[in-house]
Amino acid sequence: MSQLILDVAHVDVSIGKTHILKNISFSVHKGEVVALIGANGAGKTTTLETIMSYNKVQKGSITYQKDESDTKIDITHIPTEKVVSHGISLCPEGRQVFASLSVAENIRIGSYLRRNRSEVEEDLEYVHHLFPILHERQHQKAGSLSGGEQMMLAVARALMSRPTLLLLDEPSLGLAPLFVERIFSMLEQIHKDGTSILLVEQNAAKALDIADRAYVLEIGRIAMSGSGTQLKNNSEVQKAYLGVV
């Protein structure tokens, strides 16, 4: 097994009086696509937001190691901007682009913590290569793009922080089937280019197709784990999430 980069260990999270995450533990290794699947309300989005320090961890720890030459860092209670600067980026559910700003301005917002301008320009070239449509429409307002194009924009913006680990929350949500195919093809390319991915996705079949490993989250607990293939062939997963009767 390759280097462990993210280790979520026995984490509990409550929001208000609701206990959402209950002793969850999972990991991501360098070069992996790891999928987190489950029903609405299972705690998938809360899990990603907790890694980004949007939520307070009551119990447990989250550690991160960017590469083998770095020391392991406890990111459980550090500010979100520090999480980003260590190499983790989130592409949020619902895309959350800045509708009144141009496509180019939205993309550059992703690099706001970075100081090396030449590297930023390199990454801008990379995202334009990945998403030629965004280059063509760079002067348009982000709000004028289709849902699929806004999804591409949200991913491009997340990549501009040059993450080692990219978190994606429901990238196919609300998209036409053609765009779903394009988004997943794009994720495979990003993975091939060296970025590890933690994917939360309602479309369990597509997620398990590209995942090296996967976890099933049920009412705030990890109920099952295995390779993408193992879970796709599991009769319980098939009934609950893949529509197999």
Domain boundaries, the chain: 1-87+164-171+196-245
pLDDT at 2 (0 to 100)? 83
Q: Which amino acid is at 191?
A: H
Q: Give residue 66's pLDDT.
A: 83
How many percent of the chain have pLDDT more than 70?
99
* pLDDT, tens only, 57-86: 999 999 999 877 778 999 999 999 999 999
pLDDT of residue 168: 96
pLDDT band at 15 (very low <50, low <70, confident <90, very high): very high
Q: Average model confidence (pLDDT) for the chain?
A: 93
DSSP state of 57: -
**Whole-structure pTM value:** 0.93
Name the least confident of 92-96, 196-200, 230-234.
92-96
How many of the other CB atoms lie within 10 Å of CB of 237? 22
Continuous segment of H or E residues that includes residue 107 = helix 103-109
Confidence of residue 93 (pLDDT cuts 50, 70, 90): confident
Q: What confidence score (pLDDT) does residue 245 get?
A: 58
Give CA–CA dist 206/232, Å, rounded.
10
Q: Is the Cβ–Cβ distance between 115 and 136 less than 8 Å?
A: no
How far apart CA 45 and CA 189 sit, in angstroms, is 24
Summarize pLDDT for 194-212 with one digit per residue, the tens.
999 999 998 999 999 999 9
- For position 1, what pLDDT does the model report? 62
Tens of pLDDT, residue by residue over 140-192, are 999 999 988 999 999 999 999 999 999 999 999 888 888 899 899 999 999 99
Q: Which CATH number fits domain 1-87+164-171+196-245: 3.40.50.2300, 3.40.50.150, 3.40.630.30, 3.40.50.300?
A: 3.40.50.300
